[in-house]
Structures are given as structure tokens and as C-alpha cells.
Chain A
């Protein structure tokens, strides 16, 4: 059973960088069938896809965030990370890491529990 766990600060100051890590257990980020994704959900609102990374390091980002986002992967530590620069209050959200199963389909089959990140001074 694949498990994902987000970690990182729950409070970030405006204009600073939000940094989160997703640790993967029960599976490998080096699996060729999967993409590793970040998705966020502002309080009381819907889901927004941030982007994903393949084990090779190839990335795809949501154009709405592309100028501020970097997703990276560490195959040795079996984790992947999110950096979101120049944050504002609008970036306050629950951030989920997730696995996108990509063999013959693309569905988000495993999610972390989510971590609330608040942007405030």
C-alpha cells in the first residue's frame, strides 16, 4: 500500500517561499508508470492542480503558477518536493501530494493527508 506524507512549515510570510516535501512509502518514486503531483485546495474551495514530476525529473506545471513553482524529485530519499515563491494570502490552502497512476490512464490513486499552509505575517 502506497502512502504519502507531506511535511513542511504551516505558516509562511508573504513574499517568502513555501517549501513542502512529500515522503513516499510502500512504493518508489522511480516507478516508470507514475507521476508525482502537488494539488492544493483553498479553505472551503475546490481543487487546483499545481503540477507533477516524473522520476526522470521531467515536469509539467499549471500555467497559472508556472512562473513561481518548482517541483523536484529525490530518488535516493524516495521523496519529491514543492517550492512556491513569492507567496501571498491567495496561496493559503491545504496542499496535497499525490500519485498519478499513468499506465493506460491518468488517475490520482493515492493522496497524502494534506497539510494546511497559511500565508500571513
Chain B
């Protein structure tokens, strides 16, 4: 299986801050990497697909970059509604695997 390692596991930031989460793959996954947001008690929601493509309807403050084994997810200006856990997910090789998640809180 391809292991996906996110860092940090949790972080706390202030409204308006720039927030960055990284995801490291154990093998080259080209750009076959998606990002999801999961709010408490809800199903995950797709934000970014293929490493850098913004899903329709997702605010432009969310962005993604990277290729190969190293990927980055950024919120350019943190908003209160962004409190959630964020997951990366690879689909280069089955089984599909997810990172362990990054819990984001507001200071």
C-alpha cells in the first residue's frame, strides 16, 4: 500500500492566517492526489483534485500544489468556518489510501 503521511497532525491558527498542510507519499504518485475537508459529524467534502484543481463551488482561498511524493494544501486566509479535519488521498495505486488527517482549530 502507498502510505500517506500528513503534517502536522493538528494545528491552531488565527482568523486571517495563512495555513499550510503537507502530505508525503511513500511512492511517486505523480499528481494523483486529492484533498478533503471533514467537519465534525459530517461526511468529507472534496476540495482539491489532481493535486491542484479546485473543485467547483469551493472558495478560492483553498489551493493545492505538488507532485511526485510531496504535496501542499494551503488556506490563504483562514476563516472560522474552516474549522475541520483535512485529509489527503491518493489514487495512483489501489488500495486508495488516505492520510491520517490534520485537525485545524481557530486560536
Chain A residues packing against B (C-beta within 8 Å):
46-49, 60-64, 96, 98, 105-109, 111-114
Which one of B14-22, B66-74, B76-84, B97-105 is at the interface?
Answer: B97-105
Instruction: List residues 11-42 of chain B with CB under 8 A from any CB of chain A.
Output: 32, 34, 36, 42
| Chain A residues with CB under 8 A of B94 | 60
User: Could you tell me if A49 and B97 are in contact, using CB atoms closer than 8 angstroms?
Assistant: yes
| Chain B residues with CB under 8 A of A46 | 87, 98-101
Q: How far is the CB of A3 from chain B (nearest CB, A)?
A: 12
Query: Which single member of A60, A106, A107, A114 contacts B43 (CB below 8 Å)?
Result: A114
User: Could you tell me if B98 and A108 are in contact, using CB atoms closer than 8 angstroms?
Assistant: no
Residues of B within 8 A of A (CB-CB), count: 23
Q: Give the A-B contact count at a CB cut-off of 8 A.
A: 51
| Chain A residues with CB under 8 A of B99 | 46
* B89 part of interface (Cβ distance < 8 Å): yes
In the complex, 28 of the A-B residue pairs with CB atoms within 8 angstroms, ordered by the A residue number, are A46-B98, A46-B99, A46-B101, A47-B87, A49-B95, A49-B97, A49-B98, A60-B94, A60-B95, A63-B95, A64-B95, A96-B44, A98-B43, A105-B50, A106-B32, A106-B96, A107-B46, A107-B50, A108-B34, A108-B36, A108-B46, A109-B55, A111-B43, A111-B45, A112-B43, A113-B42, A113-B43, A114-B43
Q: A46-B99, A96-B44 are in contact. List 4 more A-B contacts (CB 8 A).
A: A48-B98, A49-B97, A60-B95, A107-B46
Closest to A37 in B: B96
| Complex CA distance for A106 and B100, rounded to whole angstroms | 20
Q: How far is the CB of B102 from chain A (nearest CB, A)?
A: 11
Closest to B34 in A: A107
| Complex CA distance for A96 and B72, rounded to whole angstroms | 26
| Complex CA distance for A63 and B93, rounded to whole angstroms | 12
Contact (A108, B55) CB under 8 Å given A47-B87, A49-B97: no
Q: How far is the CB of A34 from chain B (nearest CB, A)?
A: 14
| Complex CA distance for A60 and B44, rounded to whole angstroms | 21
